[in-house]
Structure formats: C-alpha cells, structure tokens
Structure 1
Amino acid sequence: MLQLFRRKAQAPGLTGLALGDQYFTLAHITRQRDQVLLDRCVQVDVRNPQQLRESLPAQVAQLELQGSTCNAVLGARDYNLYLIEAPAVEPDEMRAAVRWKIKDLIDIPVEDAVIDIFPVPDDAFQGRSRMLYVVAAVKSKVEQLIELCKSAELELAAIDIPEMVMRNITAKFASDDRSLAFISMKSNGSTMNITRQGNLYLARKINTQLGPNAMDSLEWEPLRDRLVLEIQRSLDYYESQMAQEPVSRIMVAPRGADTEALAASLNDAMSVPVAVLDYAERLDSPADISIETKRTGMLAIGAALRSDLSLAGG
C-alpha cells in the first residue's frame, strides 16, 4: 500500500509490525537469494496505547532491530477497502480523481483520510470498465503508526493492509498458478483473498464471526452455513463478474486448535476442496521460535515477506 521515503537502513532484512487490539507482533526476515529465514518473531500483550508506546521500543531494542527497514500493517478498524471503476483520467491525475470519487462512499471526511490505490489485474472484468481497489485509511491512525515506528527506531518504509500481507503469504507458500482462495478466520470477522500467479484479484471481508470455540457451540452448523454462503458468494462474483476461471482450492490460515477440524467441516460443505495452509511448518526459523508463535504472527510475517522492500544481502 503506502510506500514512504526512508533513510538507508542500519540492519539487513525486513521487519514486519502488526498491531492487534491488545497486542503487537514483530517479525524479521532475511533473504539469501531464494532462501527466506524468519530470524526473530515475538508477540507481546499490551493493555492500552500507553503500554504499547512503552513496550514496542523496548522489544525492538531487545531484538536488536533498531534501524531496520519496517513494513507496518494497519489494524482492521483503521481503513476501508473499496472496489471502484477507475476514473477516466491521466495516470498522474488518478489519485486526485479517486479522492473526489469516493468522498461520498467513506464514513469520514475525505480530508481526514489517507487514500491509496492499487490496480486489479488487466484480465479481470474483461470487456468492462477498468476497476481498481482504493484504500481509505484514517489519517490520524496512519500518523500514530508513523510516530510509533519512529519512537521505536524502526525505519518505516511502507504501510500495508492485511489483504496485501496475506497475499505475500500465499505468493511464498502456496501454488496459485490456478486461482486460489485464502481465508483468515477471526472472532472479529474474517478476510478472504483470491489470487492467481501472485496477483490479488478479489479481497473480501467475511462478516460471520468465529470465536475460538465456535465448533464447540450448538450453533456451529448454522454458523458454518452462513460462512459457506458468504464464501460462495465471493466465489460466484469472481467467476461471473470478474470473468475468471473457478477457484481450484480454498486454503485456511492457522487460527488455533480447531483449524484442522474447521477446514474439514468446510470441506464437507463446499464443492471446492478446503485445506489448511500451514506456512509455519515450512518457514525456516531458529528453534526458539515456536510453531505457535509463527502461526499467530501471520500478519507481521506477511509484512516482512514483502519482497520489494527487502535489502540486498539481507
């Protein structure tokens, strides 16, 4: 998403930072040609913004990440994502035209928003107007994130959204030569991407909420049915409106002890194969970084996998 001017970083590799409601996650990845190493990854609980401002610099120092290039991820409540018809203007006028076009779509004054855009692949919506995605982020939240990284001595190079860092996970750990859906299911709502050959075609929010014990509930079957309906609607949109081949498989991100059972239950209910994408098992790291830490740190890891920000030799 938003790429920022930065000074030359003092540490090789790329640091990913993701903020949750009451925690933050740091992940640091170094690359040697095609090899990727997660050499640091932690999740730290924080009770309030003040504790976050105190804990993040201390953790960055403890991990010796001061001066490292950083890609930070916006929180789910701090932005909205829109798919709109691209204005018929010159490329250098596009952002200004988009800002004007979406002013009545967003729920905050447009002057209080940071707007960024990224294109839909050219073969989507064949025969129709060109479409693009618009990210409308709350300016104050972006400014707070920039200040937070500055106080922690992280060299902030870009700010991403969860959909884009999820794309980085599938690009590295899943074969998407044919269309692939990847879903991260959380208690406060879920995110679904459809990618092909590393390109993000469709990003959708799934409103069905799945708590950590969702499958133990007597309401699991109707809950699953609602979830399946939402997923199927997105698959249908991808095929009919975006004129794409059917999705070949659906991959579920690790979410806790019920991940395998959840994927199996969805597999039983859908016509498309459903399985778990357990990238954590395949991501090289020191022994002191547990599989569970890698699973819960998905967004920070995905941010650190952004290849266009990594430093040569790192």
Structure 2
Amino acid sequence: MTLSSVVNRVSRLFARADSRTPVCLEVRPDGIAWAKGSDGVWAGRGFVDCLPAKRREALESLVNEQGWAGAPAVVVLPIDQYQVFQVERPEGIEDNELADALKWKLKDFLDFSPSDAVSDVFAFPEDASRGRGPLVNVVTARKSLVQELMALADGAGLELVRVDIAELALRNLASRMDTANRGVALVHLRERYGQMVVCRGDTLYLSRRLDVSYDDLRDAGRQENAVQSLALEIQRSMDYFESQLGQVPPATIRLVARDSVLPLTSMLSSYVAASIETVAWSEFGLEQDLDSRCLPAWSAGLAVGETH
C-alpha cells in the first residue's frame, strides 16, 4: 500500500479502531513513549530516549525486541502538533463529510492551507453550548506531519490504524476515574508545558494548555512565581468551566507530574479552590507509578469506545 493511499485512508484523524490490541505511541522531541495493552490488560510500557534523527532506528529496535511486527499502532499527537476549534455545525451535511467541509471554514485561522490539513471532528457537549446552537470540535493537523508518522510506523513494521490527540487520550483516563459521573479534572505536567482536561463520564468539556516549565518549578528563585502562575491558569480553567460552560466544577483535581521530588500537590493547594491529588496507579492495576512521559500513550489504550 502506498503512503498516499494510507493518507487517504486516515485523512480523518480518528480512523476506525482495530480489534487487535494496539501499540500506542507518542513521538516526542526527546524520544518515543509506548504502551502495549488495552482495557486494563497491559503487556508493558516504557520510554526510549532518542534524538529525532534516530527515531526510526529506535522504533525498529523496539519493534524487534517486543515482537510487534505487523501489529496495529495508534499514535498520539501532543497538543503543539494540532489545533482544535469549536465550530457551529451546519445543517444538511452528512457526518462522513463534516470534517472536510468544516476545515475550509477555518482557513483564516490556520497558518497553512486547508488543502494541506488532515482533519476530523468530535462532539461538543450539548449542555455546554449555552444557547449557541449545535457545536462540534474540529481537529486539524498538517498532512505532512501525519505522513511522517505513517512512514515512521511503516518503516518499523507497524500498521498505523489511528492518529489520536492528547486531550482525547487523557479523556480516556479521566472517564475511568469519574465513577460517580460528577466530573473529573486532570492535569498532566510535561517538561515545557502542561495540559488540563475536564470531563464528565466519557465526554470532554474542556482542554487547556498550561504554560509552565519544570525549569521554573525547580529553580528556587522562580519557583514561587511559577507555582502561582500555574495555579492561576488551573483556577481560571475551573472558573471558565463553571461560568461559561454552565457546569459544576469537580471538587478534586488529579495531577500527573514526572518530578516526584517537588511537593506540587501541597504547593498548588494553597492557591486553588479544589483539592489537588496525585493519581493512585494501583487502581488501574499498575504495581509501580506510571512514568508521566508515557501518560498520553498509555491513556490511548484506555479507549472508551471503538471510535471517538
């Protein structure tokens, strides 16, 4: 199968799920995060350090070591590799034509031509539209980026079946924690930024990028300002969830961060109305805490349904 035909097959990002257990990957600037398994049954997870120029070699070695040749693969895009827009859903357009139709409405907001975009849609919750009419979330990413990921997976002997995005992967985890269907807020801190999602059940209501870096959080001279800035962004997101989306904010925010030395839960609790807690990984059948670098890839394996 040629690369162009593969691009056409998944020109909508969220392709149909494969019935086989997938390898879930996130390709990062500093390496490749992976997780193999689904629905709580895990064959492993890990992180391979490598420079971008060594990605193919690193993934080929991983596939050979793990015996994944021919396995289906899901690749998760981090939030700096795609954009999401809330757009009014037009009347008279079929579901399978919606993504392509709406991406052209975004031509003034994209820094590349819609013809160079891969796009798809996922639902915007009806009870959060606040009288604006039916809305949908439109996801767009550069086609060249998706082609590059396809070539990487194909060259390593994997079959790319779906491209996921970070907030929908994190939604999978949040939905598992929302046992009472009252809503869950989840904050994932990465090395250079963070991401916050607020969900109820398996519905994503809000996703925000949090501008914070571990360098600032670790530096004694910048730490207090960094913590206050992070707490302000989290609180503003919770306020927006309540005032603009008309929802009752969750009482607890779950935090996933790599640096366990920093007492971030107590540091943030002084400035945020909700309580801050770390995730109890034993509840998900993990004997050790999850490496936060693997969170999006691991969460992608917790898919809440066959498609998004």
TM range (shorter): 0.7 to 0.9
Q: How far did residue 307 of structure 1 move?
A: 4.5
Inter-partner Cα distance in structure 1 for 2:268 and 2:47: 29
Match of 2:302 in 1: 305
Q: Superposition RMSD on alpha carbons, in Å?
A: 2.4
Match of 1:283 in 2: 284
Q: How far did residue 89 of structure 1 move?
A: 4.0
Match of 1:3 in 2: 14
Is 1:254 the counterpart of 2:251? The answer is no
Change (3 A) 1:200 1:176: farther
Q: What are the superposed Cα offsets for residues 42-81 of structure 1, whole Å, 9 maximum, x if unpaired?
A: 21111233x1111102211211122222211124332122
Inter-partner Cα distance in structure 2 for 1:73 and 1:171: 18
Match of 1:15 in 2: 23
Does the 8 Å CA contact 1:115/1:134 hold for their aligned counterparts? yes
Change (3 A) 1:42 1:246: closer
Match of 1:263 in 2: 265
Q: Which structure exhibits the higher relative contact order, with contacts defined as CA atoms closer than 8 Å and separated by 6 or more residues? A: 1
Q: Following superposition of structure 1 onto structure 2, how do residues 191-270 of structure 1 map, counting pairs within 5 Å?
A: 191-207=195-211, 209-211=212-214, 214-258=217-261, 261-270=263-272
Q: How far did residue 109 of structure 1 move?
A: 1.6
Q: How far did residue 189 of structure 1 move?
A: 1.4
Change (3 A) 1:81 1:5: closer
Does the 8 Å CA contact 2:81/2:141 hold for their aligned counterparts? yes
Match of 1:162 in 2: 166
The sequence identity of aligned pairs, in percent, is 27
**Which secondary structure state, in structure 2, belongs to the residue aligned with residue 2 of structure 1?**
coil
Does the 8 Å CA contact 2:186/2:196 hold for their aligned counterparts? yes
Match of 2:106 in 1: 102
Inter-partner Cα distance in structure 1 for 2:43 and 2:273: 39
TM-score by length of 1: 0.85
Q: How far did residue 110 of structure 1 move?
A: 1.4
**Which secondary structure state, in structure 2, belongs to the residue aligned with residue 71 of structure 1?**
strand
TM-score by length of 2: 0.87
Match of 1:177 in 2: 181
Inter-partner Cα distance in structure 1 for 2:65 and 2:305: 26
Q: How far did residue 176 of structure 1 move?
A: 5.8
Q: How far did residue 143 of structure 1 move?
A: 0.6
Does the 8 Å CA contact 2:258/2:293 hold for their aligned counterparts? yes
Corresponding residue pairs, total: 295
1:188 to 192, 213, 232: 192
Match of 1:135 in 2: 139
Does the 8 Å CA contact 1:15/1:26 hold for their aligned counterparts? yes
Does the 8 Å CA contact 1:214/1:220 hold for their aligned counterparts? yes
2:127 to 123, 133, 137: 123
> After TM superposition, which residue ranges in structure 1, 4 or more long, deviate above 6 angstroms?
none
Inter-partner Cα distance in structure 1 for 2:180 and 2:107: 35
Q: How far did residue 215 of structure 1 move?
A: 4.2
Q: How far did residue 164 of structure 1 move?
A: 0.9
Match of 2:3 in 1: none
Q: How far did residue 169 of structure 1 move?
A: 1.6
2:87 to 84, 87, 92: 84
Q: How far did residue 30 of structure 1 move?
A: 4.5
Does the 8 Å CA contact 2:190/2:257 hold for their aligned counterparts? no
Does the 8 Å CA contact 2:254/2:277 hold for their aligned counterparts? yes
